[in-house]
Chains A and B, each alone.
Chain A
Amino acid sequence: MKLRSIPLIARIVLAGIVLSAFGGFIVPAGHAASEVMVVAHGSVPVESLSRDAVQEIFLGRKTRWSDGQKITLATLKEGEEHEAFLRMYVGKTPHQFKNYWKSQVFTGRGKAPEAFTSPDELAEFVTNTPGAIGYLPQRAYQNQLKSFMIE
């Protein structure tokens, strides 16, 4: 069978590329950078963290605090704070972060972090879960939870 005998599939592919690429350019890709702070349960025996340490924690490469306590991750599902945190501290986009954890889960390498719809839910989880770490909008939650200096 020759190529010209199946033009429909080729047309669909090309149309998809052109339309979607055009669509992609007109959807605003950027978001205003939000100020986020890294927060943790009061039992966490750390006062400051490096950016690399935050990245290792949220990618599941560092799983315990210095006292042996298990690290439990808390993340937001979406939103500006979520995007800003991942960009600033994890070096991934929300899509890349989600894919990373899907890969871990579907290959038996790890358990996906807890994901919350609202910052309030995340704050409550971190407050009540020993060893938990998460991130929240700085303005709204300052002084409510233990927060870190990021070096």
Chain B
Amino acid sequence: MKSAVKIMFLSALFAMCCFSGNARAYEYQGVDIRGFISQGYLQSTDNNFFAETEDGTSQFNEAGINFSAEVSDRLRLGVQFLSRDLGTIGNNEVILDWAIADYHFRDWLGLTVGNMKFVHGLYNETRDLDMVRTFILMPQSVYIEAWREAISSIQGAGLYGDLGLSDMGSLSYDLQYGTVNLDSDKGAARLLGDQWPFEGMGLLVDVDQINVDYTYAGSIRWITNLEGLILGGSTWGYQFEADATTLLDTTNPMAAAMLQNNPGFVDLVGPLNAYGARFMLSPSEFGVETVSYTASMEFMWRNLVFAAEYMRTTYNIEFRNSPLFTTLEPVLSANGVAVQDGTIEVDQFSSVGYYASLAYRFAPWFELGTYYSVYYPNEDDKDGKERVAKGLDDQDHRGWLKDIALTTRFDVNENWIVKLEAHKMDGSAILLGADNPAPEDPAEDRYEEDWYLFAAKMTFHF
């Protein structure tokens, strides 16, 4: 069924590409049809960046097609289907990216219901649209790839509008409330799996299902009367629960010791699972609450675009597995982990990220851009020492990622864009354990601190 949808989607997109001529939207009986296809290539010197980039990968693409129509002066309907691939994320499954009914009461008040693009920062809504930006990869400090699905679109309702401020410029606002479908094989689930702090003890998790209780997002942009200057602020929040298969890795010396020294633990161990020397334990539950704030500025002056953003995200995470944690309470307590009613609460922590970018269009066909982006998964542990001490990671450079990027964009014609991009990376935060498995030889490093990432991408749109 999924492959049939994929074939229909690609066929429709291909047909539209053929019929749409040069860069024009295709229009059929009042319905505007537009689309895009991007194909990229990623290569890293070390570390796998959300795909097998060390070996070079072309599993890096996006394609979308949208249909929109103005049903009346005030009512607009639209839908966009999207397919994307980044390593094992997406796998070119066709998803409903957005599908909205938009009623525009006044310029200062509109109502949107359906599946809307999620407002966050200056560019989150357009992050799938390679053709409207300079860079291939957005700055990971504010637009983290692992969170992409989680903040791509929101099912619910939203209010928006534009308010004139006379000599002060104008104000645009968006308020959204609803829920999000999070798949267990997407980046957010894997990022969540990486928060599990007991891997060093031989206790492993595999997130099976995520149930989002609620999501909200809000954004305000002040279009100042200083030509080209926009200042903005945005926030979003999540509450969700996740179910995870819990496994015991008996090859881990600490796990073996726990089995020997804790009466009752043996009774919890279930059958051998498909992975080999890993045994099923009682399932774990994750409870997560997160709130994020972003401050943004963009300044356009002729062909120059300068942007800077700062994001801070606070996480409250708890792990629940009453049989396991109660049985292992002595071991966990000895490792500084408090268990209460079968629940372990992780101390609240906040990630921070910021970047500044500069892009200049030298000619209609050529643009050059650069950015510097910094991300810390825990603002109180910027040197990563604490996470090593706690056993979360073996390497302190998991505590930061500093990225210097340089991009060239070539507009071959109105439909075709080619981009080349180089990143000099310092640190290994945001990289997922699932993409970078622990090496068999314990003497080898799992992640490299200094590495480079190269990206190339070609986009067609109409």
Q: Using CB atoms and an 8 Å cutoff, list the residues of chain A in contact with chain B.
A: 1-3, 6, 9-10, 12-13, 16-17, 20-21, 23-25, 27, 29, 52, 56, 61-64, 70, 91-93, 95-96, 99, 102-103, 105-109, 111-112
Judge if B444 is at the interface, Cβ distance under 8 Å: no
Given A93-B361, A103-B132, A111-B68: A62 and B107 interface contact (C-beta under 8 Å): yes
Q: Are A105 and B452 in contact (CB under 8 A)?
A: no
Q: Are B32 and A111 in contact (CB under 8 A)?
A: yes
Q: At the interface, is chain B mostly helix, strand, loop or mixed?
A: strand
The CA-CA distance from A70 to B107 in the complex, in Å, is 11
Q: Are A102 and B45 in contact (CB under 8 A)?
A: no
Q: How many whole Å from B180's CB to the nearest CB in chain A?
A: 16
Q: Are B80 and A6 in contact (CB under 8 A)?
A: no
Contacts of A20 in B (CB 8 A): 362-363, 366, 368, 408, 410
Judge if B273 is at the interface, Cβ distance under 8 Å: no
Q: Are A107 and B303 in contact (CB under 8 A)?
A: no
Among A3, A20, A27, chain B packs the most CB atoms within 10 A around the CB of A20
Q: Are A106 and B66 in contact (CB under 8 A)?
A: yes
Q: Are A3 and B66 in contact (CB under 8 A)?
A: no
Contact of B131 among A16, A70, A96, A102 (CB under 8 A): A102
The CA-CA distance from A63 to B110 in the complex, in Å, is 12
Given A16-B408, A95-B361: A103 and B125 interface contact (C-beta under 8 Å): yes
The CA-CA distance from A93 to B132 in the complex, in Å, is 14
The CA-CA distance from A96 to B298 in the complex, in Å, is 13
> Which of B7-15, B96-104, B142-150, B211-219 participates in binding chain A?
B96-104
Contact of B68 among A9, A23, A56, A108 (CB under 8 A): A108
What number of residue pairs across chains A and B have CB atoms under 8 A from each other? 127
Tell me how many residues of B have a C-beta within 8 Å of chain A: 60
Q: Are B421 and A13 in contact (CB under 8 A)?
A: yes
Q: Are B45 and A17 in contact (CB under 8 A)?
A: no
Contacts of A23 in B (CB 8 A): 362-363, 366
Contact with A along B313-342 (1 / 0, CB 8 A): 000000000000000000000000000000
Q: Are B45 and A105 in contact (CB under 8 A)?
A: no
Contact with A along B37-51 (1 / 0, CB 8 A): 000000101100000
Q: Are B363 and A29 in contact (CB under 8 A)?
A: yes
Contacts of B461 in A (CB 8 A): 102
Residue of A nearest to B174 (CB): A109
Q: A6-B45, A56-B164 are in contact. List 8 more A-B contacts (CB 8 A).
A: A1-B46, A10-B454, A16-B410, A23-B366, A63-B107, A64-B106, A102-B132, A108-B68
Judge if B34 is at the interface, Cβ distance under 8 Å: yes
Q: How many whole Å from B51's CB to the nearest CB in chain A?
A: 15
Q: How many whole Å from B445's CB to the nearest CB in chain A?
A: 14
Q: Are B422 and A108 in contact (CB under 8 A)?
A: no
Q: Which residues of B100-139 have CB atoms within 8 Å of chain A's CB atoms?
A: 100, 102, 104, 106-107, 112, 116-117, 125-126, 128-129, 131-132
The CA-CA distance from A24 to B411 in the complex, in Å, is 12
Residue of A nearest to B41 (CB): A9
Q: Are A111 and B76 in contact (CB under 8 A)?
A: yes
Contact of A13 among B80, B107, B454 (CB under 8 A): B454
Q: Are B132 and A70 in contact (CB under 8 A)?
A: no
Q: Are B107 and A108 in contact (CB under 8 A)?
A: no
